[in-house]
Structure 1
Amino acid sequence: MIREIITPEEESYQIRLPKEYLHRKIEVLIFPIQDPKDGKNDSKDIVLQKADGILKGKKIDPLSWQRKLRDEYERL
């Protein structure tokens, strides 16, 4: 596997593949990542950061906890 994080300066980018990848199906993914230095946080990212590890150290089964929350939500 090859993983490289770049900051492209142009709309076009050329990829050089290793010989062992030739004549095989490969997957190429391109998506933006948030740079922690830019100071911008999506509200979804903030919620995920606050909830990260919320069940750690507690004797709660995550699946049953999730089912209980869904059942309560569906009753409303």
Structure 2
Amino acid sequence: MAIELPALRGKVCASQEEIASAVGISRQTYSAYENRTRPIPWSLYLALLFYFDYIPSTHYMIRQLELFPNERSYGNKT
């Protein structure tokens, strides 16, 4: 997802500050994720995923990128 963050942010016409505030982190931390200098923790990955999925202008993009985890991601064989 980190690779797609700038494009997603551009699609919603939001600043780093606005998105960071929406998911409860600092702009500097968000910038580090967007610039891929820091890995995105799972909880924040989910927060960003739900944030962008909720917005109509990025919903389709999120779905096309197949960023939602599925059962195969966890090795479930049931």
Normalised by the length of structure 2, the TM-score is 0.23
Bigger proportion of residues as helix: 2
- Greater RCO between the two (CA within 8 Å, min separation 6)? 2
Choose 1 or 2 for highest CA Rg: 1
Normalised by the length of structure 1, the TM-score is 0.23
